[in-house]
Amino acid sequence: MTTQVEAHSGYKYKSDSNRLGLWLFIISDAFVFGGLLVSRFYLFAGERPELNQWLGVIVTFVLLTSSFFMYRADTDISYGNVKGFTRNILVTLILGILFLIGVVGLEWPTAPFSAGENAMSSIFFTMTGMHALHVLSGVIFLYIVYRNGKKGLYSKERHFPVEAAAIYWHFVDVVWVFFYPALYLMGNPV
């Protein structure tokens, strides 16, 4: 194992620890979403709520596209391109907000049921709500990174917060890849 004396300080060492901590957080968080998915199928194996299919496709498209721009922002900063980074992260941020408007602002009020109606509506609102909460925290995270990036705090060598925001954003995106079919596509609508 590690026989050489490591300096337990310095940007790289700390970033490596932070990265591990971030991944552990994501593993932990995945259990919440896993639990929600299991609950959804435990309660209703062959059924799904009646939802606006077009809206579902559009918000999914918006969120997946945002991940593409997040990737570009991350790549830009690792090449030291601060300008490209700020531009791309702004696009990601806007797409994230559009997703939130689509789900919380449009899908929730127009759904043909309310949160307290039955178990299926409960699981729908809890799953989308929990995911939206994560998107919202991701948007806040992106804004912080955007603002600090504009101040010129990130460089080719020192940009772990950007990487962390990217990992988190992709994670939230991947969760939706599972949630979208579970809520919009699988089972017969009731």
Partner 1 sequence: MRFYKLSLFRGLGFMLVGTFIGVVITILIRLLIGLPAWNAEPILVVGALFGAIAFMFGTRVMDDWFKWARGIDTPEPAEDSEAEGWKRFIHVSFDHKVIGIQYGLTSILILSVAGLFAMIFRTELAQPGLQFLTPDGFNTLISLHGIVNIGGILLGVAAMANYLVPLMIGANDMAFPRLNAFAYWINIPAIVMLLSTILLGGVDAGWTGYPPLSENLAKIGFSMFFLGVYLIGLSSILGGLNLITTIIRMRAPGMSYFRMPIFVWSTLATMIISLTATQLIGLSFQMVLFDRVFGMDFFNPNQGGNVLLFQNLFWFYSHPAVYVFVLPGLGIISELLPVFSRKPLFGYRWVALSSMAIALVGFFVWAHHMFTSGMADFLRVPFTYSTLLVAVPTGIKFFSWTGTIWRGKLSFQTPMLYVLGAISIFLLGGLSGPPNATVATDLHIHDTYFIVGHFHATMFGGYLFPFVAAAYFWFPLITGRMYSERWGKIGFWLMLIGFYFQSLFQMQTGLLGMRRRIADYDPALGVDFQQLVVSIAGFVVGLGLLVFITNILVSAKRGQVAEQNPWRSRSPEWYIPTPVWGHNYEKPFEVVGEPYDYGLEGSDYTSLGGVADTPADSAVPEPAAAD
- Least Å distance, CB 128 to partner 1, is 13
Query: Is the CB of residue 95 less than 8 Å from the CB of residue 63?
Result: yes
Task: Give the residue with the Cβ less far from partner 1, 63 or 164.
Answer: 164
CA distance 162 to 80: 12
Task: Give the residue with the Cβ less far from partner 1, 147 or 156.
Answer: 147
Task: Give the residue with the Cβ less far from partner 1, 98 or 120.
Answer: 120
Query: Is the CB of residue 85 less than 8 Å from the CB of residue 118?
Result: no
Task: Give the residue with the Cβ less far from partner 1, 71 or 113.
Answer: 113
Closest to 107 in 3D by CA, of 65, 54, 63: 54
Task: Give the residue with the Cβ less far from partner 1, 25 or 71.
Answer: 25
Closest to 11 in 3D by CA, of 116, 187, 157, 153: 157
Q: Which residues bind partner 1 (CB under 8 A)?
A: 1-6, 8, 16-17, 20-21, 24-25, 27-29, 31-32, 35-36, 39, 42-44, 115-123, 125-126, 144, 147-148, 151, 153
Cα 115 versus chain centre, distance? 23
- Least Å distance, CB 83 to partner 1, is 18
- Least Å distance, CB 9 to partner 1, is 8
- Tokens representing residue 190 in the block: 């009731």
| Residue 188 parent element (H or E) | strand 188-189
- Least Å distance, CB 68 to partner 1, is 26
- Tokens representing residue 77 in the block: 């900063």
- Tokens representing residue 63 in the block: 């969120």
- Least Å distance, CB 168 to partner 1, is 14
